[in-house]
Amino acid sequence: MSLIDTGWAAWLPFELTAALDALSGGSPARRSFRQLLASERDEASRERWERFRLVAPSRVDVPIDGDGLDEAGCYALLEALGLVAGNPPRPVQPEAVELVLTLDEEERRELDGLRSARDIGSVSTPADALPSLEASFGGGEVGRNDPCPCGSGQKFKRCHGR
């Protein structure tokens, strides 16, 4: 779905993503969209609709459930979100929309779990993994035929040994 970013796509109900696909797709996409609207909604669709209601901007009047939603209702919601415009509806470049989440305790824990799974952890090295300050590196005599310590790859006698 190139019309909207993956962040929005994760929150849109299946009916609205199918409506967007129907606009940019051919007759198979439109047929699939109509079949989705006519079919009985499963539990995943109901949960996604409820999640969408929680994050939808307050300026958008979202129905309590998606039962009985028709093509015109889908396109009206998409137009209120700023994703389509005109008659017949055409995709538009979406504007940035601020999402405000209202989560209960269980949803907050789930979100924290997702965030912690993305956390790369601490990037600092533990102190005992660092070399001691008393350790000396290099500093010894460099032989004429040894590689030059400057890192040029040449022998010392041809680089800094002159």
Whole-model pTM? 0.50
- List residues bridging with 84 in a β-sheet: 91
Burial 89-104 (b: 16+ CB within 10 A, else e): bebeeeeeeeeeeeee
For 118-145, the pLDDT digits (tens) are 656 666 677 777 767 666 666 678 888 9
For 65-110, the pLDDT digits (tens) are 777 788 888 888 888 887 888 888 877 765 566 666 677 888 888 8
pLDDT exceeds 70 at position 1: no
For 23-77, the pLDDT digits (tens) are 888 888 888 888 888 888 888 888 888 888 887 777 777 887 777 788 888 888 8
The amino acid sitting at 69 is L
How far is Cα 47 from Cα 73, in angstroms, rounded to an integer?
A: 19
**Contact criterion met (CB below 8 Å) for 84 and 73:** no
